[in-house]
Amino acid sequence: MNILVAILMVLGALFCLIAAIGVFRMPDLYMRMHTATKAGAFGGSLLALAAAFHFGTPRAGIMAVLIIVFFYLTAPIAAQVFGVAAYRRGVPLWEDSEIDELRDAVDPSDSGKAEPSDK
């Protein structure tokens, strides 16, 4: 059991490191978000799992499940809201990107203008 906890802990830290390297190396904002949300959430989930195995009590298990479920419910929402906001403000894509499916959906003429009242 201790070996399992140690392996899960090291794996979780490794995924956090992978996410950090991705945020450092990737060429544009959207790819950085890709590594930060996916690998970061997976690393945190592995650590929560390690804590659940280590303590072995219902309380720690419930907290670990809560953390994991919360991660996987909120990370896609945050990334989606954030990506659309960045696209509306005109953050450029990597110059070698080939597909830009948002180009037709987002009107570039109203980018970056603060609106006086809520729609």
Partner 1 sequence: MSSDLENPMLLIGWWVSAVLFLAAAVPVVYRIVRGPTVFDRIVALDLFAGICLGIIVALAIRFDQPVFLEVAFVIALVGFLGTVALARYLERGGER
Euclidean distance between CA atoms 40 and 75, whole angstroms: 9
The answer to whether 60 contacts partner 1 (rule: CB under 8 A) is: yes
Q: What angle do CA 4, 47, 80 make, to 5 degrees?
A: 140
- Residue of the chain from 2, 98, 101, 104 that contacts partner 1 (CB under 8 A): 2
Question: What are the strands, taking DSSP E only, across 12-105?
Answer: none
Euclidean distance between CA atoms 104 and 16, whole angstroms: 35
- Residue of the chain from 6, 27, 100, 108 that contacts partner 1 (CB under 8 A): 6
State the Rg of the chain over Cα: 19
Is 73 or 99 the residue whose CB approaches partner 1 more closely? 73
Residues that bind partner 1 (CB under 8 A): 2-3, 5-7, 9-10, 12-14, 16-17, 19-21, 23-25, 29, 32-33, 36-37, 40-41, 43-44, 47-48, 50-51, 54-55, 57, 59-60, 63-64, 66-67, 70-71, 74-75, 77-78, 81-82, 84-86, 88-89, 91, 112-115
